[in-house]
A and B are shown apart, each in its own frame.
Chain A
Amino acid sequence: MLSIKNLRASIEGKEILKGINLEVRAGEVHAIMGPNGTGKSTLASVIVGRDIFVIEEGEILFKGKNLIGMPVEERANEGIFLGFQYPVEIPGVSMTNFMRTAINEQRKYRGLDPMPAQEFLNSMEEKKRLLEIHAKLANRSVNEGFSGGEKKKNEIFQMAMLNPELAILDETDSGLDIDALKIVAHGVNTLRRPDNAFIVITHYQRLLEYIVPDFVHVLFDGRIVRSGGKELAFELEDKGYEWIKEAQV
């Protein structure tokens, strides 16, 4: 589904990603771990097309299509979703309006008619229940006045509404208490299917107790320095990142 080869990317002349290789197939959950500032969020941003980063080398293929140079919205319409580490507040744009616009734009891209209003409302209600969101979203502006936990739940809610093929969750667990973490994990697990895939970026092993990955990768200084099964996460938990750092020296 996603194939990244020798990806090098920089921002303002500073190289952040120094040759990433990653293969993600349908049905898989990949965890990307690593200390702060090693390029985890940059990798997520580059995949979804944030233009502040410059791709120096390498390729990113999604379902065989080259993502480099593809507009952000087109990547989304192709089925890529990013759960933001820091979701943006957009005063004046209601959640309902936002979701309806996004869904219909994606449907249009796929040659479908807009979603009928009732179907849309039913879907909203269903996904709100899944994420245990109690707020009325119709009159609430996107993320405005949401607590940290609400914002993260809102990301997974949007993912559930948009039903992407590849979801990248960037530190979705940060700032969540254990109850919210369980709700978020339950949401993700419910949405796991043989034909979709997840990349879960996290600093801590805790999230992976609830979202069990098929593969764990350790990103350090812009490279994936270690890959393994879910047991790698436990090893990191035991030994800490110092162990990786020392192994690199």
Chain B
Amino acid sequence: MNTIASLHIGEMGYISEESLDSIPLKLLEMGCLPGAEVQLVQIAPLKDPLYICVNGSHLAIRKETASKIRILKSE
């Protein structure tokens, strides 16, 4: 199962529709929507948190949250 946490730095994916319920409302409000393109920009030196870019928002989220958000990897 691919999640945001399984992306490599620079890799992109699309947030899958089925993960809607596992996205916290706050993240949803910040543009982390199902169907949106998400890129992993950077990983913090201690492997956590993750720095992502989604829908034009640059956000840092914890690995724990990221590993619950399923994605479809882009080719």
Chain B associates with chain A: no
